[in-house]
Copies of this chain bind each other. A is one copy, B any other.
Amino acid sequence: MSIRIGIMGYGNLGRGVECAVAQNPDMELKAVFTRRNPEELQIWSRTARVVSADKLADWKDELDVLILCGGSATDLPKQTPECAKYFNVIDSFDTHARIPEHFADVDAEAKKSGKVAIISVGWDPGLFSLNRMYANAILPEGKDYTFWGRGVSQGHSDAVRRIPGVKDARQYTIPVESALEAVRAGEDPELTTRDKHTRECFVVLEEGADPAKVEEEITSMPNYFADYDTTVHFITEEEMQRDHSRLPHGGFVLRSGVTGREKENRHLIEYTLKLDSNPEFTSSVLVAYARAAYKMSREGLSGCKTVFDVAPAYLSPKSGEELRASLL
């Protein structure tokens, strides 16, 4: 029998989950829940139902795992604890500073209902966190580095779009190659986020807007751009459409550490992601952890978990025997 999946929210992430479920033969998408009028929502799946979010509780015996695809600012802090009353749930809550609070809220509900909830799943937080953790446990004396990019930052793109005279904009965060090489060379440099990244903006102007003025407004914007090496390119709407419609992203997690009687041996652990589609890759991680939530729930576990608490084997459709024979 397939693992019965529900999706809450049909934005980039929800559509990515829909695709990812279709790539996993042990799963079946049963329903997409929306706050919009379900009549007006067209989904890609031919078999799943589109259901009003109001009817969620009616589905409590119809789904094995509900994957929450809303945003971290306002959706997930409410939705995840609420949905954990009825379902095993997965979310991608990514406001790092508020994770402890979110964990506590979700844990309380999931313990009461006896469901499994896995929060902050994706690549950062998520796979990057895992790699930081494994590397720290293995090399207790060392330094951590995370670089992001090359990829589109939605927050920075939005900030540029708010400037008067800007019709559309896309901002790429780019790791500084020389900083990355210094880490790889074992130089243990001290690096701020600013030392590690540059920013590149592609901007479509409104008719009659002054490019010099817009460029000045971007490069002087506090927090977002002022302290970074920022490049601005003005392009046409057609170029934006043709060259910048994807949402690529990625990054690097490194740990450089020492071992030995005299700390004379140096080791480098590096984890790299290069992603054509940030939302689709994040969705693929969510779906693997949905399988884990299902398996853990069937073993009688409950409460809130993060990627740190989930034994790797739970993510795989293979049995322990198969994993040991094929992947160990």
Known: A19-B261, A310-B311, A325-B100. Is A270-B268 also a contact (CB below 8 A)? no
Residue in A138, A269, A316, A321 with the greatest tally of chain B CB atoms within 10 Å: A138
The answer to whether B276 and A315 touch across the interface, beta carbons within 8 angstroms, is no
Tell me if A103 counts as interface (CB < 8 A to partner B): yes
A272 to chain B: closest residue by CB: B270
Known: A265-B280, A266-B276, A328-B125. Is A136-B96 also a contact (CB below 8 A)? no
Q: Indicate how many identical chains form the complex.
A: 2
User: CA of A280 to CA of B266 in the docked complex: distance in angstroms?
Assistant: 10
Which chain A residues in 121-147 approach chain B with CB under 8 Å? 125, 127, 129-134, 136-141
A94 to chain B: closest residue by CB: B328
Known: A265-B280, A280-B265. Is A133-B323 also a contact (CB below 8 A)? yes
Q: Mark A191-234, 1 if CB is under 8 A from B, else 0.
A: 00000000000000000000000000000000000000000000
The answer to whether B133 and A315 touch across the interface, beta carbons within 8 angstroms, is yes
User: CA of A277 to CA of B257 in the docked complex: distance in angstroms?
Assistant: 12
A144 to chain B: closest residue by CB: B327
Which chain A residues in 304-328 approach chain B with CB under 8 Å? 306-313, 315-317, 320-321, 323-325, 327-328
Tell me if A99 counts as interface (CB < 8 A to partner B): yes
Known: A103-B324, A328-B308. Is A284-B138 also a contact (CB below 8 A)? yes
Residues of B within 8 A of A297 (CB): none
Residues of B within 8 A of A272 (CB): 268-272
Residues of B within 8 A of A328 (CB): 96, 99, 120, 125, 129, 306-308
Tell me if A53 counts as interface (CB < 8 A to partner B): no
How far apart are A272's CB and chain B's nearest CB, in angstroms?
4
The answer to whether A136 and B100 touch across the interface, beta carbons within 8 angstroms, is no
Tell me if A260 counts as interface (CB < 8 A to partner B): yes
Known: A23-B140, A277-B260, A327-B133. Is A320-B315 also a contact (CB below 8 A)? no
Tell me if A20 counts as interface (CB < 8 A to partner B): yes
Tell me if A274 counts as interface (CB < 8 A to partner B): yes
The answer to whether A321 and B268 touch across the interface, beta carbons within 8 angstroms, is no
User: CA of A281 to CA of B24 in the docked complex: distance in angstroms?
Assistant: 36
What are 8 A-B pairs with beta-carbon distances under 8 A?
A99-B324, A127-B134, A133-B313, A265-B281, A268-B272, A307-B312, A308-B324, A311-B311
Given contacts A134-B312, A271-B271, 20 further A-B contacts (CB under 8 A): A16-B259, A19-B261, A20-B259, A132-B327, A133-B323, A133-B327, A134-B288, A137-B288, A138-B281, A265-B276, A265-B277, A265-B281, A268-B275, A270-B274, A307-B328, A308-B311, A308-B312, A308-B328, A309-B312, A309-B320
